[in-house]
């Protein structure tokens, strides 16, 4: 018996020795793996654009186009710039293109002028069209200026960065539990400046990156519009929670700017530009789309209810129109009869053109302080768009603080949805009873427009 026991101990010792050996080997393998992974990361930008060698012969050397402005707004990339052409040769066209080594070439709608041997070009006619980042394949793309000369010659020029902005990391919307990471990088390869997109698939979004932000209007002591015991802030929150649920059901990662768990004091305390304020939260979310939910209230009798979608100026309104149409159809409501700022049925644009006012001789900081003194809710669209939408609240008006992201060249595409009029009984009843249908309409709009399953 004793002997047997001893032997068993020996056997156990042997097992634990083997275990230790095993753990050591695993540790060594892990160490080698992580060391090489880090090395790959360091060399990423060089390895990423090695395919440039396959198309470098097509690109002119010595002459480069300058980028003066570049913006990622929502899901689109756009640039503006210029280039001197030394040869006295008239041109037929100039176009910004995204080119891959495998031969794909995506032309981006470009407006250009050609004067005194200089081409000025811009893809920024509308801030939410241009190069659709969501449509790119998992490949390396190179952004080039393609010029067709009158003598039938076509030349490609690479681009240098003349802006104050650096590289951008963009994550596509979640589709089938998957996202692409697009590294928009300025680099130099063999003395040639390169603006390249390196695209890889990721299994999960980083913790601080979201697809969509939902902003339930008002909150805390700001209850918004009121009808009897019904408050806009509460109804907007109920609709926002329903919308969040439905968007998450189709796989999107959603951030709420408030979710009702904040105490009233806590929420009221937050300036919208504070760390926990809605503008800052949205700007930090890296989301592509923001939907702000509100209920309208008419002061006069000439509006009898209905849906109003507010979009940014200088933008293509296809998605705004789709939101309006889908809500009217699915939630069985009407387009608003309000004519102020109306662009088409259900679609409104009411963004103050700050740049215009700045250009006026009479304009001063003192003057434009006042612009912000009216109801701040509509400004969410502008203040989350950075330079694309002209975010400008810089702290001059001490009542509001400063938008730390006002100079960002990455912005969120924002839409403000006035679901209906709180003081029109038909609207109020419909929203209270059918919040799920309003949410379903918005979810369908996003699903269909952005191609999300």
Q: Which residues bind Zn ion (CB under 5 A)?
A: 217, 224, 294, 377
Q: d(Cα 293, Cα 218) in Å, to the nearest integer?
A: 9
**Burial call 71-108: b when 16+ CB within 10 Å, e when fewer:** bbbbbbbbbbbbbebeeeeebeebbbbbbbbeeeeeeb
67 strand-pairing partners: 81, 161
Q: H or E segment at 2?
A: helix 2-42
198/294 with CB nearer Zn ion: 294
> In the bound complex, what is the minimum distance in angstroms from residue 438's beta carbon to Zn ion?
15
> In the bound complex, what is the minimum distance in angstroms from residue 395's beta carbon to Zn ion?
24
234/248 with CB nearer Zn ion: 234
- 282, 215 Cβ separation under 8 angstroms: yes
Q: H or E segment at 427?
A: helix 425-433
The CB density around residue 279, as the number of other CB atoms within 10 Å, is: 27
Q: d(Cα 48, Cα 114) in Å, to the nearest integer?
A: 34
368/421 with CB nearer Zn ion: 421
> In the bound complex, what is the minimum distance in angstroms from residue 314's beta carbon to Zn ion?
24
| Angle, helices 232-249/425-433, rounded to nearest 10 degrees | 40
Closest-by-Cβ residue to Zn ion is 294
What one-character-per-residue DSSP string does 3-60 give?
A: HHHHHHHHHHHHHHHHHHHHHHHHHHHHHHHHHHHHHHHHTHHHHHTGGGGGTGGGB-
> In the bound complex, what is the minimum distance in angstroms from residue 293's beta carbon to Zn ion?
9
226/402 with CB nearer Zn ion: 226
294/406 with CB nearer Zn ion: 294
SS3 154: strand
State the number of CA atoms in the 13 A half-sphere of 27 facing the CB: 6
297/434 with CB nearer Zn ion: 297
105/262 with CB nearer Zn ion: 262
77/377 with CB nearer Zn ion: 377
> In the bound complex, what is the minimum distance in angstroms from residue 217's beta carbon to Zn ion?
4
> In the bound complex, what is the minimum distance in angstroms from residue 240's beta carbon to Zn ion?
12
> In the bound complex, what is the minimum distance in angstroms from residue 377's beta carbon to Zn ion?
5
> In the bound complex, what is the minimum distance in angstroms from residue 323's beta carbon to Zn ion?
17
What phi and psi, each to the nearest 5 degrees, are found at residue 406? -65, -25
120/297 with CB nearer Zn ion: 297
- The torsion defined by the Cα of 125, 129, 130 and 136, in degrees rounded to 10, comes to 180
Sheet with 308-311, side-by-side order of all strands: 254-256, 212-216, 289-296, 413-421, 308-311, 347-349, 342-344
Q: Closest by alpha carbon to 319, among 442, 186, 184?
A: 442
236/410 with CB nearer Zn ion: 236
What phi and psi, each to the nearest 5 degrees, are found at residue 89? -135, 125
Q: Closest by alpha carbon to 427, among 354, 338, 355?
A: 338
> In the bound complex, what is the minimum distance in angstroms from residue 224's beta carbon to Zn ion?
4
């Amino acid at each position: 018996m004793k002997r047997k026991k001893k032997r068993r101990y020996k056997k156990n010792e042997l097992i634990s020795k083997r275990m230790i050996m095993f753990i050591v080997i695993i540790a060594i393998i892990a160490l080698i793996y992580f060391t090489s992974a880090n090395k790959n990361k360091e060399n990423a930008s060089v390895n990423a654009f090695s395919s440039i060698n396959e198309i470098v012969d097509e690109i002119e050397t010595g002459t480069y186009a300058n980028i003066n402005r570049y913006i990622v707004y929502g899901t689109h990339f756009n640039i503006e710039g210029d280039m001197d052409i030394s040869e006295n040769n008239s041109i037929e066209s100039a176009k910004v293109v995204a080119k891959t080594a495998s031969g794909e070439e995506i032309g981006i709608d470009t407006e250009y002028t050609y004067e005194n041997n200089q081409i000025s070009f811009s893809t920024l006619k509308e801030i939410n069209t241009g190069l659709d980042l969501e449509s790119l394949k998992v490949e390396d793309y190179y952004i080039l200026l393609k010029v067709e000369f009158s003598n039938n010659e076509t030349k490609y020029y690479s681009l240098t960065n003349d802006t104050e902005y650096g590289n951008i990391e963009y994550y596509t919307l979640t589709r089938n539990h998957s996202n692409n990471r697009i590294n928009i990088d300025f680099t130099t390869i063999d003395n040639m400046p390169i603006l390249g997109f390196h695209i890889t698939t990721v299994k999960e979004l980083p913790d601080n990156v979201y697809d969509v932000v939902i902003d339930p209007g008002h909150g805390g002591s700001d209850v918004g519009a009121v009808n009897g015991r019904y408050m806009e802030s509460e109804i907007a929150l109920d609709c926002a929670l329903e919308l969040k649920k439905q968007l998450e059901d189709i796989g999107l990662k959603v951030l709420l700017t408030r979710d009702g768990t904040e105490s009233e004091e806590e929420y009221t305390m937050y300036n919208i530009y504070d760390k926990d304020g809605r503008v800052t939260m949205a700007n930090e979310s890296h989301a592509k789309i923001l939907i702000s939910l509100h209920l309208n209230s008419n002061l006069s009798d000439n509006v009898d209810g209905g849906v109003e979608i507010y979009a940014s100026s200088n933008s293509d309104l296809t998605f705004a129109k789709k939101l309006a149409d889908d809500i009217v159809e699915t939630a069985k409501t009407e387009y608003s009869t309000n004519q102020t700022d109306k662009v088409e049925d259900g679609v409104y644009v009411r963004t103050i053109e700050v740049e215009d006012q700045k250009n006026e001789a009479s304009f001063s900081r003192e003057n434009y302080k006042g612009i912000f003194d009216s109801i701040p809710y509509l400004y969410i669209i502008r203040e989350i768009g950075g330079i694309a939408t002209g975010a400008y609240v810089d702290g001059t008006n001490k009542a509001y603080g400063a938008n730390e992201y006002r100079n960002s060249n990455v912005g969120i595409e924002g839409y403000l949805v006035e679901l209906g009029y709180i003081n029109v009984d038909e609207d109020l009843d419909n929203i209270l009873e059918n919040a799920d249908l309003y949410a379903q309409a918005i979810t369908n709009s996003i699903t269909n427009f952005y191609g999300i399953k």
